[in-house]
Chain A
Amino acid sequence: MSETLSAGDLGALFGALRARGYRVVGPAVRDGAIVQAELSEPAELPVGWTDEQEPGSYRLSRRGDGAYFGYAVGPHSWKAELLPPRVRLWQAQRENGGLAVEEPPSESEPTAFVGVRPCELAAIEIQDRVFLGGRFQDADYAARRSDVFLVAVECGTPSSLCFCSAQGTGPGATEGFDLALTELLDGDHRFLVRAGSPAGEAVLADLPTRPATREDVDASGLVVAAAARAQTGRFDGEGVQSLLLRNLESPVWDAVAERCLSCGNCTLVCPTCFCTHVEDTSSLDGATAARDRVWDTCFSLRYAEMHGGNTRPTTRARYRQWLTHKLATWEDQFGTAGCVGCGRCIAWCPAGIDIRAEVKAIRAEEDAHAHA
């Protein structure tokens, strides 16, 4: 059942989470961007801030109101918490004709993610499939994932780059959360709150809420509907999987390769990109060795390096690999789509490459060719 929480009581949510031993991570303004940080109170949220995003551009600007979550998404995604950039897998010593391997316990602590966008809920679900749904599981991811409490916040202010509605991942939150908030700014500043799990219900019970009125529920529906409407026509994903796989030699790849710097920003900010590599090190005296799991990017020149060569030496090949993986072959590998429509890769690309436009170009090129 839905409840309504007055905006002024948002601190009670923080209190209830901390009382249960959760550290709270949520959005905060740092260095001109809305990033993830450990928070102790609602005042640390990006109150009254919004973001303006274009291909290759991200700016913060002031809103006319005191909205806590009046922006779209920032460069950070929750993978920084669930799949940290560097994790020590083990340390080992040579010992009496054997190896003494020490596996440090996961550094995971109970954490509440506050401000999880519906597209981010979908991204977490996609990564769950990768790390928990196969024959081999990632133990660190599993430990962190089981320690997490998710507070979703539906979108009221999508950016011009958002296309979650085309990808079916938002702007409303339907499942995968413990609590879901919708910020209502008309009249009293308040939040519609829904529980999505027994843990969520338990926390909800501790909050000074009142049962939601018909008007509150309708208002939150309108917020989400307006956010969806704002995205109409932004991305034509119809049959994108087979479109890309049919056009692996399209000249569009050559054209985008001229602009792409192969910097990997897109993979850093993408909430579903998960590639890592393994770093083996040893102490100077050779007595101790260690292995870390470290974030990697398929744009790195060394990514496809194999003894005596490289299977993707050109930017064209690496860009094609990234985009076809994200929009097409991810589904073959893991049974879900790879892209959640958050638009981060478009904003944070220094060359301003817009994947929606690239898909459109491939479609147009194919059509032009067919009629030639």
Chain B
Amino acid sequence: MATVAEPLAAYGAMVPLAYTVARSRRENHDNWTLELEPVDAAIDPIGPGQFDMLYAFGVGEVPISNSGDPDRVPTLVHTIRAVGPVTKALCAARPGDVVGVRGPFGNQWPLHEAVGRELVLVGGGVGLPPLRPALYKALAHRDELAGLHVLYGGRTPRDLLFTRELEQWRARWDVTVGVTVDAGDADWRGNVGVVTKLIPGASFDPANSVAFVVGPEIMMRFTARALLARGLPPERIWISMERTMRCGIGLCGHCQLGPTLICRDGPIYRLDEITPLLEVPEL
């Protein structure tokens, strides 16, 4: 018979652990941030870039990136956009409600690559939450970086996330923050235009920078182009990929993109490694 490792005592990785909603904060018209505390057992500490599978009792499960401070163990922070039945149920959860958590899954932002360099974080839409843990880490170790830049693009002013924190970050001398919206409103006094427009004028030195980019895939493609045009080499640009996920543990096949399983080998990929896959439509 083939040698088989000891079977797991339980179904383990497919069973959610119970977490209570400690806080629910409404970020904007369709996004909520949940702060979760374990009822009993906790998952392993989650790193920047990783995700959990969040379970709304009886409704279903979705993969949501970590958007909190990785050092605040065991609290989990997840920013969720209400678009479907599961996310709507999660966004409707109130303090005291119980949700299920499986994780942490996936790989992490390579923050070690930023040591001694300038770190450029570019987020589009709901791409800012997955970058926030990296930003928290960067702020906590700011003296190890040569620079820190946050470039963020949203759809309209009312879609922007973490506006209060953005103002706090912008007020610091050691962080530069650029924000733009695709379409302004009557009260908007800031930039209007796509987030890629913030790149040519941003103050980082491409010869000594690394960039982490998250957003809709097309936004990441255009952003990558703009970063490359500024002289940032593809080996120093990382993006976060997304595909349909069901199990989150590499056993169901759904998150395949060509040769890679996003839940297992990603979601963080270096640009030069993932570009060939991005270029094949419907891969």
A interface list, Cβ under 8 A from B: 89-90, 92, 94, 97-99, 101, 103, 106, 124-125, 128, 130-132, 134-140, 142-143, 145-146, 148-150, 176, 178, 197, 199, 245, 248-249, 274-278, 280-283, 286, 289, 291, 293, 296, 298, 303-308, 311-314, 316-317, 320-321, 324-325, 328-329, 332-333
Contacts and interface: CB of A to CB of B under 8 A. Distances in A.
A90 B5 contact: no
Contacts of B14: 89-90, 278, 291, 293
A214 B7 CA distance: 42
Contact residues on B (Cβ < 8 Å of other chain), bracket: 35 or more
Nearest to A330: B259
17 contacts: A98-B40, A99-B39, A103-B15, A125-B2, A130-B251, A135-B264, A136-B249, A140-B11, A143-B7, A276-B252, A277-B246, A298-B253, A307-B87, A314-B282, A316-B282, A317-B283, A333-B256
Given A98-B98, A280-B60, A289-B57, A311 B282 contact: yes
Contacts of B260: 332-333
B259 A101 contact: no
Interface string B74-106: 000000000110010000000010101000000
Contacts of B11: 89-90, 103, 139-140
B240 to A, nearest CB: 14
B7 A311 contact: no
Interface string B237-250: 00000111011011
A325 to B, nearest CB: 7
B20 A248 contact: no
Nearest to B217: A311
A275 B243 contact: no
A139 B13 CA distance: 9
B244 A311 contact: yes
Interface of B: 1-2, 4-18, 20, 39-40, 55, 57-61, 83-84, 87, 96, 98, 100, 242-244, 246-247, 249-254, 256, 258-261, 264, 280, 282-283
B10 A286 contact: no
Nearest to B86: A280
A128 B7 CA distance: 12
A312 B55 CA distance: 26
Contacts of A316: 282
A304 B243 contact: yes
Question: DSSP class of A's interface residues: helix, strand, loop or mixed?
Answer: mixed
Given A99-B57, A278-B252, A321-B283, 10 more contacts: A89-B15, A99-B16, A103-B15, A146-B1, A280-B60, A282-B57, A312-B282, A313-B282, A324-B258, A333-B259
Nearest to B280: A248
Instruction: For the complex of A and B, list the 4 residue pairs with the smallest distance between their C-beta atoms, beginning with the closest.
Output: A282-B58, A332-B259, A142-B7, A275-B253
A280 B61 contact: yes
A281 B60 CA distance: 8
Contacts of B9: 139
Contact of B253 (A143, A197, A276, A324): A276
A268 B267 CA distance: 29
Nearest to B10: A103
A145 B3 CA distance: 9
Nearest to A197: B1
B10 A98 contact: no
Contact of B10 (A135, A139, A283): A139
Nearest to A282: B58
B5 to A, nearest CB: 6
B220 to A, nearest CB: 15
Contacts of B254: 275, 277, 296, 303-304
Contacts of A307: 83-84, 87
B42 to A, nearest CB: 13
Given A103-B15, A307-B84, A149 B1 contact: yes
A308 B264 CA distance: 23
Contacts of A197: 1
Nearest to B100: A99
Most chain B C-beta atoms within 10 Å of own C-beta, residue among A278, A296, A306: A278
B104 to A, nearest CB: 12
A199 B84 CA distance: 52
Contacts of A106: 7
B251 A176 contact: no
Contacts of A283: 58
A140 B15 CA distance: 13
A179 to B, nearest CB: 11
A136 B251 contact: yes
B223 to A, nearest CB: 20
B244 A92 contact: no
B54 to A, nearest CB: 12
A286 to B, nearest CB: 6
A145 B250 contact: no
Contacts of A131: 251
Given A132-B4, A135-B264, A282 B12 contact: no
Nearest to A101: B15
Contacts of A281: 58
